[in-house]
Amino acid sequence: MKKRMRRVCGFMLLLGAATAAWADPLLALLPNNGVPSGWARRGEPLLFAGSELYRHIDGGAELYHRHGFERLAVQDYAKGSHDVRVEIYKMNDPDGSEAVFGEMTAGLAVQASFGTACVLDDYQVLFRRGAFLVSLTTYEKSPEFSAAMAALAGRIDWALSALEASESR
């Protein structure tokens, strides 16, 4: 009986730790497997908060901190040996995401394909909506990767739009 109780308690502790890791609402913005079709998450998502950002983008984190960085969720998506990295930055407020976006895209043609402002090229989609800044990156140029980034960006933009709508009620 004691042995069984220990197993049950151990399982509950593991379950609690796993649930706590997924409790951050930023992770709910990451698309599930199959978006786009044939693509799946590779590995577990990573979360960075506060000064932990320096572990992820050493040398570039100061820009985000200067404008009110809160948290970052990172998830890789793969189809075979091909990858797309998704990064969702949560800033303190929309002014922070606008400032970071503005500095990162100075001199580039800004459009509204995703979010309230967006910059696209063959290797990256960068957009902002509210207090969020989203970056999708691949290291291979092909129409398939551009389509994969567009599908992921569209799903994240839809989730952010739904979040904005629920917060305004």
Q: What is the 3-state secondary structure (H, E, C) of the chain?
A: CHHHHHHHHHHHHHHHHHHHHHCCHHHHHCCCCCCCCCCEEEEEEEEEEHHHHHHHCCCCHHHHHHCCEEEEEEEEEEECCEEEEEEEEEECCHHHHHHHHHHHCCCCCCECCCCCEEEECCCEEEEEECCEEEEEECCCCCHHHHHHHHHHHHHHHHHHHHHHHHHCC
The letter for the amino acid at 161 is S
Q: Which of 136, 94, 93 is nearest to 114 (CA)?
A: 136
pLDDT given for residue 93 in this prediction:
97
Residue pointed to by tokens 């979360």: 47
φ and ψ at 3, to 5 degrees? -60, -45
Q: Which residues pair with 48 in a beta bridge?
A: 72
pLDDT given for residue 132 in this prediction:
98
Domain 25-167 has CATH 3.40.1000.70: yes
d(Cα 153, Cα 161) in Å, to the nearest integer? Answer: 12
pLDDT given for residue 164 in this prediction:
85
pLDDT given for residue 58 in this prediction:
77
Q: Supply 151's token pair.
A: 């599908």
CB neighbour burial string for 144-164, b if at least 16 within 10 angstroms, e if fewer: ebbebbbbbbbbbbebbeebe
For each of the chain's 169 residues, which pLDDT tens digit applies? 554 444 434 444 334 434 444 579 999 999 999 989 999 999 999 999 999 999 999 788 999 999 999 999 999 999 988 999 999 999 999 999 999 999 999 999 999 999 999 999 989 999 999 999 999 999 999 888 889 999 999 999 999 999 888 877 6
Residue pointed to by tokens 């739009």: 161
pLDDT given for residue 30 in this prediction:
96
Taking the CA atoms of the chain, what radius of gyration do you get in angstroms?
A: 18
d(Cα 118, Cα 147) in Å, to the nearest integer? Answer: 16
